[in-house]
Amino acid sequence: MKVILIGNRTVGEGHPTYIVAEAGVNHKGNLDLARQMIWEAAGAGADAIKFQSYKAETLVTRWAPRYWEDDEPSGTQFAIFKRSDVFGEREFTALYEECQRAGITFLSTPFDLRFVDFLNDLGMPAFKIASADLTNLPLLRHAARKGKPILMSTGASTLSEIRASVEAVRAEGNDQIVLLHCVLSYPTPDDEAHLLRIPALAREFPDIPIGFSDHTVPESCVIVPTAAVALGAQVIEKHFTLRRTWP
């Protein structure tokens, strides 16, 4: 199995599991809260903390009907995304610098080409591609050309779609790939985590490190991610918040 380098950490067989603390947009648009999350993730021993970089205008039309959060009064998915896209280049630069002070790797998922360019120029050492963009080959190719590791979530994808995505990245001369098994259910019941997909992906892509983007409910025994590692996961990505009672 191939190993890759993310910052100063080697990822792959024979190396410690790479832990990504998924902050997403759980900072609620508050820069101080995002900074606090960085230090909490670093203190917990995570290798990286990951945010999300997007603008609602690049994701959906203004009239696209919502497909989650039934309490959104406008009824549009645009309004839901717009509530969380308040961070721009200034804020992400500040978070990158805060990560350097905290001794943790800064990652953020880009959802458009502009953010790929910005995050690359910022110095982000790897790209994480969301499941929704696994088949967004123009985005994958653009990120792959930067020559940095590409971590791709595979939720709701078929094997042929995963193959096409891997081929698209490799066609740009980039063989630094990690595939993350993922179930797009929030939260995912433990018995629906389908962890046997991890060794299945490893058999299909024996030269690519396989990981797990975990959406199960956290437990003190961390049984699901522990089982994922036992089944061969080299990377674990887990959402976290500073307070579970927040909406």
Give the position of tokens 């971590």: 151
Residues sharing a CB contact under 8 Å with residue 210, sequence separation 6 or more, in sequence order: 178, 179, 180, 181, 198, 201, 202, 232, 233, 234, 235
More confident site: 202 or 29:
202
- pTM of structure: 0.94
More confident site: 201 or 62:
201
Cis upstream peptide for 187 (omega within 30°)? yes
**What would the two tokens of residue 105 be?**
């790797």
* Residue 226, phi then psi, degrees to nearest 5: -65, -45
* d(C-alpha 16, C-alpha 208), whole Å: 16
- Burial pattern 113-129, b for ≥16 Cβ within 10 A else e, equals eebbebbbebebbbbbb
Distances (CA, A) of 62 to 33, 53, 166: 29, 19, 32
**Tell me: the pLDDT tens digits for 163-175?**
999 999 999 999 9
**Tell me: the pLDDT tens digits for 114-159?**
999 999 999 999 999 999 999 999 999 999 999 999 999 999 999 9
**Tell me: the pLDDT tens digits for 51-73?**
999 988 988 889 888 876 666 66
pLDDT at 72: 62
> Where are the domains positioned within the chain?
4-239
pLDDT at 1: 63
* d(C-alpha 211, C-alpha 208), whole Å: 10
What is the chain's percent helix, strand, coil content, to nearest 5? 35, 20, 45
| The domain over range 4-239 is classified in CATH as 3.30.70.260 | no
pLDDT, the chain, mean: 93
**Tell me: the pLDDT tens digits for 170-195?**
999 999 999 999 999 888 999 999 99
